[in-house]
Amino acid sequence: MKTLYTAEALASGEGRDGTARTQDGKLEVSLASPVELGGDGNGTNPEQLFAAGYAACFHSALRLVGRKERADLTDSAVAAKIHFGALDGGTGYGLAAELEIAVPAVDLATAEALVAKAHEICPYSNATRGNITVDIKILEFAA
């Protein structure tokens, strides 16, 4: 891989209940375990940050593919859900992802083709492929 950009971040404190900040200072967040995992929920958590990053990255890939294909992606959007859970056998924890995609200006066949191409070029999709389950749903398209 030829590196085009490197993001740097530092997490400190108590891990999931600490802080995280980027090297350039543009992002600084207090971290807190969610209530569902016994935390107080008074901060963001790694899964929320992953969900935001995956949604933005996939939407960017979709828009790139759309431009190349001259497809109308007016009002397109991508929502990501990142699921955190215990792995079978009690060997640790894992993640799964769901992407919910709206492409209201194109028909279902076009939407499916664009989403498939976006899934091939999105860096998050490439990083997760074969490592975690990623369920992709097209929720809105032109009839």
Q: Which domains does the chain have, with CATH numbers?
A: 1-44 (2.20.25.10), 46-142 (3.30.300.20)
Q: Is the pLDDT of residue 143 over 80?
A: no
Place 80 in a pLDDT band, splitting at 50, 70 and 90: very high
Work out the burial of residue 138: count CB atoms within 10 Å of its CB; fewer than 13 is exposed, 13-18 middle, 19 or more buried: middle
Rounded to whole angstroms, how far apart are CA atoms 68 and 127? 23
Q: What is the CA radius of gyration of the chain?
A: 17
Rounded to whole angstroms, how far apart are CA atoms 32 and 41? 5
pTM of the model: 0.94
Handedness of CA 129, 130, 132, 134 (dihedral sign): positive
For residue 18, give both structure tokens: 């600490």
- pLDDT for position 78: 98
Beta-bridge partner residues of 83: 96
Place 90 in a pLDDT band, splitting at 50, 70 and 90: confident
